[in-house]
Amino acid sequence: MKLGPKSTLLEVTVTVARALRKHHVSAILTGGACASLHADGLVTSYDVDFVLEGRVPGSVTDRALASTGYSRDHDRYVHPTCPFVVEFPAGPVGIGDDDEVVPVEIAVGDVRILGLSATDSCRDRLAAYYHWNDKQGLDAAVAIAARRPVDLNVIGKWSEREGATAGFAEFRRALIKAKEGKRPRRRPR
């Protein structure tokens, strides 16, 4: 797929994932792009973050991304016409104080992308809410949990370890409200 000014976040994510796999680079999709996948595009992001597994020479990621039209600009990759940037944050993958995150395969059409599970993507977005009061992080976590099965027990226990029980309670309230808004309303008789 040729990327350009009208390319979507999903198209960029899939194209970059394919290119990395073709160049034998194992990488885990994280951040807003992963949240967007789990929330059916309702979460927006202008960067695609992949955490590389193992040591990967810059020349290999340069070649992989060049095949998609991206080129290195300091610590990120930019495209001459596509508005999304690609970044490779330092690993290992972690969420808050949890550094034992296990990635999963996410099917997007005929492409399998290694990324955070819906539960972990939800926790990733909540970490931004808990630690930086990022309201968009809360909204993204709710969007994910309203559309995908997530393990609320895992999220609750992790939230407690992060010292964010009040934040978790706010997340639960917002999630209940979001799910109520999706139910069809009965007409009064």
**76: nearest Cα among 59, 62, 64:** 62
Q: Is the dihedral of CA 88, 93, 95, 101 positive or negative?
A: positive
Task: Output the pLDDT for position 182.
Answer: 67
Per-residue pLDDT reduced to its tens digit, 100-127: 899 999 999 889 999 999 999 999 999 9
Torsion of CA 8, 176, 135, 52, to 10 degrees: -50
Per-residue pLDDT reduced to its tens digit, 38-54: 999 999 999 999 999 98
Would you say residue 92 has pLDDT above 80? yes
Q: How confident is the model at residue 147 (pLDDT cuts 50, 70, 90)?
A: very high
User: Over the Cα atoms of the chain, what is R_g?
Assistant: 18
CA 98 to chain centroid, in Å, comes to 16
Looking from the CA of 109 toward its CB, the CA atoms found within 13 Å total: 8
CA 145 to chain centroid, in Å, comes to 13
